[in-house]
Structure 1
């Protein structure tokens, strides 16, 4: 099966993280579109999603209109709060096919400020 460039990039990044998967660290997968931003904390050992946060949730949509970078910061703060409630502090950051730039970078920096380690 032949993969296109985007699928190869995502596969390369994700497999490096899955090889290092342990019980004490989980994978944080990031997804963004032109308007929205979402993230999930995934346990690769048991193949389950533990937590998720997105910009399409009702309480985030109820906020006044903001730009996309501040929207990713809001999602990061929400995810960090949920993770700290479940005692998850150490994660692997899976940026997927996206460059570590712009919204993805601000998301990661906001998570670090709120107590996550990666």
Structure 2
């Protein structure tokens, strides 16, 4: 029987495999959440480069947030990544939730990024 880590890695790989099939050259907005913080990157898989990144550990956000592990923090990170991606010339992405359910903090980040101007 597979352990929990193997199951999580398999789920993340399954999601990424599907995204790369439908991406059509668009960069990937990859989300990772831990118990204390949330991290997001805009990745160009063709070139293998990170175009923009943001997290609750950024100095501009850290002082404004009560904690890095709530919906408000995820929303702030979503707005920040949208600004940074637009500055890098990216407006269309595919959303990579990894092994995380589209619920709670991940959903709040995605909605804030959409409000900030990213299309996915």
Report the TM-score when normalising by structure 1.
0.90
8 Å CA contact retained: 2:52, 2:85: yes
In structure 1, the partner of 2:71 is 69
Task: State the TM-score, normalized to the length of structure 2.
Answer: 0.89
| Contact residue 21 and residue 44 of structure 1 kept, 8 A | no
CA distance in 2, matches of 1:81, 1:64: 18
Give unpaired runs (5+ residues) of structure 1.
none
The change in CA–CA distance for 1:64 and 1:10 in structure 2 (over 3 A counts) is: closer
Structure 1 runs (4+) deviating above 6 angstroms are: none
Distance 1:28 1:50 in 2: 10
User: 2-side partners of 1:64 and 1:28: how far apart?
Assistant: 22
Would you say the 8 A contact 2:29–2:95 is kept in 1?
A: yes
* CA distance 1:49–1:64, change in 2 (3 Å): closer
Measured against aligned partners, the alpha-carbon deviations of 1:11-55 in whole angstroms (never above 9, x if no partner) come to 1001111223443x1000000011101100000001111110010
Count of residue pairs the alignment pairs up: 116
Contact 1:73/1:107, CA 8 A, preserved across alignment = yes
Kindly report the root-mean-square deviation, in angstroms, between the aligned alpha carbons of the 2 structures: 1.7
Contact 1:17–1:94 (8 Å) recurs in 2: yes
Q: Give unpaired runs (5+ residues) of structure 2.
A: none
